[in-house]
Amino acid sequence: MYTNMTNSSLRAAITVPSLRQRKTDAAKIAVLTCYDASFAAHFDAAGIDAVLVGDSLGMVIQGQASTLPVTLDHMVYHTAAVSRGLHAPLLIADMPFMSYRDVPTALASASRLLAEGGAAMVKVEGAGWVLDVITALSERDVPVCAHLGLTPQSVHKLGGYRVQGKLADEAKRLLDDSHAVAKAGAELLVLECVPAELAARITGEIPIPTIGIGAGPGCDGQVLVLYDMLGITPGRRPRFSKDFLRGHDSIDAALTAYVEAVHSSTFPAPEHTY
């Protein structure tokens, strides 16, 4: 296994129960996406709380137009690579498009991500029929992170990458779905591109931690795509992102600045919210 000989080895490992305790203690959770062992080791040293191997790798690693072409094999490969660089952070792996289309498929996919990839939690998008998947996984002791709001695997149905929950009926559905995924057994909830006021209400009402990305400062934690956070994603950077490398002389300094900004609630600022 990859050995990280830094002070990060002195940190206690972040667990699913300890993330829930963070919510109870009102201690913010800093999350970043990661796709390889080398960056993972730097994340560990910087004090990142949880690492998401996102299917965003389809866009930022593979150069795809969306996350849809990412396969389960891709996710297992990258999750395993990241796991070799980590000690303390909780490792979460995205379940890619159609890898959880029904309960048997979801169980088989999650098994690979945990057993072969080394993940401690899997992430699925949506509610509705996905609730059966969340329940089946959680009943078999597979920790689940739910994902609501802008769900990239549904980009065609949504009509693009747009803020979700601005209209009253959309907001009510998001609030109801948030309660539903928590009741189904999800341990964590990512809220993406959701108005800050709605995200704060959801965070206050459900018992599990919320992780925001473009969902305002009221969430229990924040997540960014690594390449957005370092300012190296080609093209226009999302409004909710911030280039933490600017003003710092190293990637390590940028990572540390991100962790400190999330933990101190100075990120996201008003200009990063909807």
3-class SS of residue 212: strand
**CA neighbor of 60 nearest in space, from 211, 226, 254:** 226
Residue 3's pLDDT is what?
40
Residue 50's pLDDT is what?
98
Q: Which residue has the tokens 């390449």?
A: 227
Angstrom distance (rounded) from CA 96 to CA 77: 13
Angstrom distance (rounded) from CA 90 to CA 31: 9
β-pair partners for 189: 146, 210
User: Is there a contact between 97 and 153 (Cβ–Cβ < 8 Å)?
Assistant: yes
Question: Mind listing the pLDDT tens digit of every residue in the chain (274 residues)?
Answer: 334 434 445 789 999 999 999 999 999 999 999 999 999 999 988 999 999 999 999 999 999 999 999 999 999 999 999 999 999 999 999 999 999 999 999 999 999 999 999 999 999 999 999 999 999 999 999 999 999 999 999 988 888 888 999 999 999 999 999 999 999 999 999 999 999 999 999 999 999 999 999 999 999 999 999 999 999 988 888 889 999 999 999 999 999 999 999 999 999 999 999 9
Angstrom distance (rounded) from CA 222 to CA 212: 5
Task: Report the top-level CATH class of 7-272.
Answer: alpha beta
Residues noted as catalytic: 192
Residue 9's pLDDT is what?
53
Angstrom distance (rounded) from CA 236 to CA 131: 34
Radius of gyration of the chain (CA): 17
Residue 78's pLDDT is what?
98
Which tokens is 12 given? 């206690």
Angstrom distance (rounded) from CA 184 to CA 205: 15
pTM: 0.94
Domain residue extents for the chain: 7-272
Half-sphere exposure of 217 (CA within 13 A, CB side): 12
Residue 21's pLDDT is what?
97
Q: How many CB atoms lie within 10 A of CB 20?
A: 16
User: Is there a contact between 31 and 70 (Cβ–Cβ < 8 Å)?
Assistant: no
